[in-house]
Amino acid sequence: MYQLQSVTQTYERRGNVVTALDTCDLEIPDGDFVAIVGPSGSGKTTLLSVLGGMMAPTSGDVLLDGESLYDLSIDQRTRLRGEKIGFVFQSFNLVTWMSACENVQIPLMLSGKLASDQRARALELLDRVGLSDRADHLPSELSQGQQQRVALARTLANDPQVILADEPTGNLDADTRQQVMSYLAEFHNDGRTIVMVTHDADTAAFAKRTIRLVSGVTDEVAMADAA
Partner 1 sequence: MKLRSMIWKELWQRPTPMLTSLLAVTLGVTAMVAIQNITVFSERKIAGDMESLGANVLVLPPEVTLQDYYSADMHGHTMPEEYVSRLALARMPGVENLAPKLCIESDVDSIPVTVTGVLPQSEFQAKSAWQGLGLISPVGTDRGCCATKANVSAGEDNPNSLATNRTIQDLGDRDLILGHDLAAQLGAKVGDKLPVLGESFSVLTVLPSTGTIDDSRMFAHLHSVQDLSGAGPVVNVIEIMACCEDAAGDLISNLSSELPETRVITIAQVVETQVAVNGLMSRLSWVFLSILLLVGGASIASVMYANVTERRNEIGTLMALGASRRFVTRMFLGKAVLLGLAGGLGGFFVGTIVAAVLGPQLLGIYVEPLPQLLVVGMVAATIVAVTASYLPARRAAGLDPCLVFNDA
Pick out residues in 144-173 that bind partner 1 (CB under 8 A).
Answer: 154, 158, 166-167, 170
Our CB check for partner 1 shows the closer of 79 and 128 to be 79
Residue 145 burial (CB count, 10 A): 19
Alpha-carbon distance of 189 to 211, in angstroms, equals: 20
- 12 lies in the binding site for partner 1 (CB under 8 A): no
Shortest Å, Cβ 68 to partner 1: 19
The answer to the question of residue 75 lying near partner 1 (CB under 8 A) is yes
Using CB under 8 A as the binding rule, whether residue 106 contacts partner 1 is answered as yes
Please give the order of strands across the beta sheet that includes 2-13: 16-28, 2-13, 59-64, 67-68
Q: Report the amino acid identity of residue 194.
A: I
79 is a site residue for partner 1 (CB under 8 A) = yes
Q: Does 107 bind partner 1 (CB under 8 A)?
A: yes
**Residue 220 carries which side chain, given as an amino acid letter?**
E
Q: Any bridge partners for residue 10, and if so which? A: 19
Sheet holding 162-166, edge to edge: 85-88, 162-166, 193-197, 33-37, 209-214, 217-221
Nearer to partner 1, 106 or 185 (CB): 106
Residues 6+ apart with CB under 8 A from 198: 35, 36, 37, 165, 167, 168, 169, 170, 204
- Binder of partner 1 out of 48, 69, 131, 180 (CB under 8 A): 48
Using alpha carbons, select from 75, 101, 40, 87 the residue that is nearest to residue 194.
87
| Shortest reach from residue 184's CB to partner 1, in Å | 17
The window from 11-19, 60-68, 75-83, 205-213 that contacts partner 1 (CB under 8 A) reads 75-83
Residue 97 binding partner 1, by CB under 8 A: yes
Residue from 27, 59, 68, 115 touching partner 1 (CB under 8 A): that is 115
Work out whether 45 is an interface residue with partner 1 (CB under 8 A).
yes
CB 64 within 8 A of CB 50: no
Question: What residues line the site for partner 1 (CB under 8 A)?
Answer: 40-41, 45, 48-49, 52, 54-55, 74-75, 78-79, 81-83, 87, 89-91, 93, 95-98, 102, 105-107, 109-111, 115, 118-119, 154, 158, 166-167, 170, 197
